[in-house]
Amino acid sequence: MEFNDKFFEEIGKSAGVTQMCKEVAEKVLAAAQTSAPVNEVAYRDGLHVEVKTVENATSPSSWAATRRRR
């Protein structure tokens, strides 16, 4: 079986897939913020959602809940 990489790249960049990934990342963010230690306010406040774009990959965009580096 051969996969059509261009098809998957286009699907991965579509508005629907992007929105779905963003919604999941925001749920992960909420869970991470909720479970962050109370005495680590800077850590909790540094958590955020961002999109990373990788060209020439089957999944060109990915959303992630990450911590800002200060």
Q: What's the pLDDT at 68?
A: 64
Model pTM? 0.64
Distances in Å between the alpha carbon of 49 and those of 1, 4, 61? 36, 30, 13
Of 59, 63, 61, 62, the closest CA to residue 7 belongs to 59
How is residue 50 written in tokens?
Answer: 């961002």
Q: What's the pLDDT at 3?
A: 83
Residues 40-62: pLDDT tens digits?
Answer: 888 888 898 887 776 655 444 55
pLDDT surpasses 50 at 32: yes
Q: What's the pLDDT at 55?
A: 65
